[in-house]
């Protein structure tokens, strides 16, 4: 009898693909810091986004050729920009894991040439939906954090019939150490990777883990758990850096009503979900700043599962679970509240009071 856990292969490929793509994003950041990447006027985030997306999709194509993919980028810009295309192709071609078995046997044939690069990128144009297997991919989530040398994440998740089954977040700039205090390293602009880089992973029903990001094969993983909030007054909020992405004054009112005195930790990207999942922070709030913006599924799918599998609950401000089955956006949801399951109801109540939803 086979003892392979459900989604074991999907998890392994997803983690290795994210790990490999992070080699590219880190290289692009470091070369930008040295001033060698942006000489063609292309933003490092554009180069990193396209390069990481191509590497990750090529691994999905080789291993799960029938699955649909919803990814943030598409090839249109590269079709007309020959210089940018060849710059990205050069980086993609050179980026390999240090572990030859993982690189060749597991991740497959890679991207073949410049024409294939365009094809691979456009495999991410699925409309998503409620039926079948759909991967969601954000090659660089937290683009502003990436540019600052702060937090960003490579976010990959597998949906099956609209439910998240596998979630992987590569966070190159978070401390490896799960016990490290939560710090907003906005503008950190560190060029030293020592002690940084972590992959958070989860499979539905199997808990959540963290492991060092590394560059070869997968290092050993450790289970992670959200921290118990014994007293709301000593809890900490995690919020977006961008005031345009989450309403900070409403969050301050919510904190005050809950008796929370610590200032919020602001960081970019789904590194927020990973951080609270390993108990480095407690509550992630994302409060809508406009009635028209629809959150994107690739900005939340991996984080949603990782937090729930670490003992948390994730809903929108109306108390509904995030619905990843309605297309490329979370059209049926409004904002996000992620908290340990035991206190989620209490937080939701205060959110609804402040937002006038009850
Ligand atoms: N008005 C808005 N409200 C909420 N999120 C927004 C937004 N405009 C853009 N975003 C999303 O916020 C993501 C970053 O999240 P955070 O603010 O938590 O760091 C962005 O992802 P990218 O950085 O991949 O573009 C983008 O998709
Ligand atoms: Mg994003």
CATH of the domain at 55: 3.30.540.10
> According to the model, what pLDDT value does residue 39 have?
44
Residues in the chain: 358
Q: Output the CA 245–ligand 1 centroid distance in Å.
A: 6
User: Does 213 map to a domain?
Assistant: yes
| Terminal-to-terminal C-alpha distance of the chain | 53
136 and 208 in a single domain? The answer is yes
Q: Which residue's CA is minimally distant from atom 8 of ligand 1?
A: 245
80 and 205 in a single domain? The answer is yes
220 and 294 in a single domain? The answer is no
Starting at the edge strand found earlier in the chain, the sheet holding 133-141 runs: 68-71, 133-141, 153-160, 163-175, 196-203, 208-212, 222-224
Query: Of 301, 296, 25, which is closest to residue 162 (Cα–Cα)?
Result: 301
Look at residues 158, 193, 224 and tell me which one is the last residue of a structural domain.
224
252 and 194 in a single domain? The answer is no
Look at residues 224, 259, 291 and tell me which one is the last residue of a structural domain.
224
Q: Output the CA 262–ligand 2 centroid distance in Å.
A: 27
Instruction: For residue 141, give the ligand 1 atom closest to its CA.
Output: 24
Question: Does residue 294 line the site of ligand 1, with CB under 6 A?
Answer: no
343 and 244 in a single domain? The answer is yes
> According to the model, what pLDDT value does residue 32 have?
77
259 and 337 in a single domain? The answer is yes
Q: Which residue is listed with tokens 């921290």?
A: 227
> According to the model, what pLDDT value does residue 348 have?
98
User: Residue 344's domain is classified under what CATH number?
Assistant: 3.40.190.80
* CA atoms of 274 and 206, how far apart (whole Å): 16
How many structural domains compose the chain? 2
- Domain with 255, as residue range(s), is 232-354
User: Does 191 map to a domain?
Assistant: yes
> According to the model, what pLDDT value does residue 2 have?
57
User: Does 324 map to a domain?
Assistant: yes
Q: Which positions ≥6 away from 3 have C-beta within 8 Å?
A: none
pLDDT digit string, tens, across residues 70-128: 999 999 999 999 999 999 999 999 999 999 999 988 899 899 999 999 999 999 999 99
Look at residues 198, 224, 250 and tell me which one is the last residue of a structural domain.
224
Q: Give this complex's ipTM.
A: 0.99
> Which residues are identified as catalytic?
49, 143
Ligand nearest to the CA of 330: 1
- Average pLDDT over the chain reads 94
139 and 258 in a single domain? The answer is no
Ligand nearest to the CA of 240: 1
> According to the model, what pLDDT value does residue 106 have?
86
> According to the model, what pLDDT value does residue 181 have?
83
> According to the model, what pLDDT value does residue 191 have?
65
Residues tagged in the binding site annotation for Mg(2+) = 72, 138, 140-141, 299
Structure tokens at 235: 């809890």
DSSP string, 50-62: HHHHHHHHHHHHH
Q: Which positions ≥6 away from 287 have C-beta within 8 Å?
A: 246, 247, 250, 251, 317, 335, 351, 355
Low-confidence ranges of the chain (pLDDT < 50): 39
Q: Which residue's CA is minimally distant from atom 10 of ligand 1?
A: 245
């Amino acid at each position: 009898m086979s003892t392979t856990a459900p989604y074991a292969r999907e998890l392994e490929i997803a983690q290795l693909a994210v790990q490999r793509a992070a080699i590219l994003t880190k290289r692009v950041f470091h070369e930008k810091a040295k001033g060698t990447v942006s000489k063609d006027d292309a933003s490092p985030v554009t180069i990193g986004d396209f390069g990481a997306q191509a590497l990750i999709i090529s691994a999905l194509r080789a291993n799960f050729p029938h699955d649909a993919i919803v990814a943030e980028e598409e090839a249109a810009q590269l079709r007309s920009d020959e210089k940018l295309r060849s710059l990205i192709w050069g980086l993609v071609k050179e980026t390999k894991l240090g572990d030859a078995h993982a690189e060749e046997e597991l991740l497959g044939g890679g991207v073949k040439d410049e024409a294939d690069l365009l094809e691979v990128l456009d495999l991410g144009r699925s409309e998503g939906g409620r039926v079948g297997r759909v991967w969601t991919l954000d090659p660089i989530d937290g683009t502003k954090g990436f540019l600052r040398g702060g937090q960003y994440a490579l976010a990959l998740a597998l949906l099956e019939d609209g439910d998240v089954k596998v979630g992987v977040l590569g966070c190159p700039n978070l401390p490896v150490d799960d016990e490290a205090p939560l710090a907003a390293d906005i503008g950190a602009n560190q060029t030293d990777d020592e002690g940084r880089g972590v992959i958070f992973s989860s499979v539905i029903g199997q808990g959540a883990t963290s492991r060092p990001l590394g560059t070869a094969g997968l290092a050993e993983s450790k289970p992670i758990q959200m921290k118990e909030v014994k007293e709301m007054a000593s809890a900490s909020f995690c919020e977006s850096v961008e005031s345009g992405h989450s309403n900070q004054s409403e969050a301050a009112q919510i904190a005050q009503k809950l008796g929370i005195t610590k200032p919020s930790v602001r960081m970019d990207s789904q590194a927020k979900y990973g951080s609270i999942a390993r108990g480095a922070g407690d509550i992630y709030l994302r409060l809508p700043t406009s009635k028209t913006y629809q959150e994107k599924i690739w900005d939340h799918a991996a984080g949603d599962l990782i937090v729930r599998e670490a003992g948390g609950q994730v809903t929108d401000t109306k108390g509904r679970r995030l619905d990843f089955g309605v297309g490329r956006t979370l059209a049926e949801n409004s904002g996000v509240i992620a908290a340990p399951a035991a206190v989620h109801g209490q937080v939701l109540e205060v959110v609804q009071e402040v937002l006038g939803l009850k």
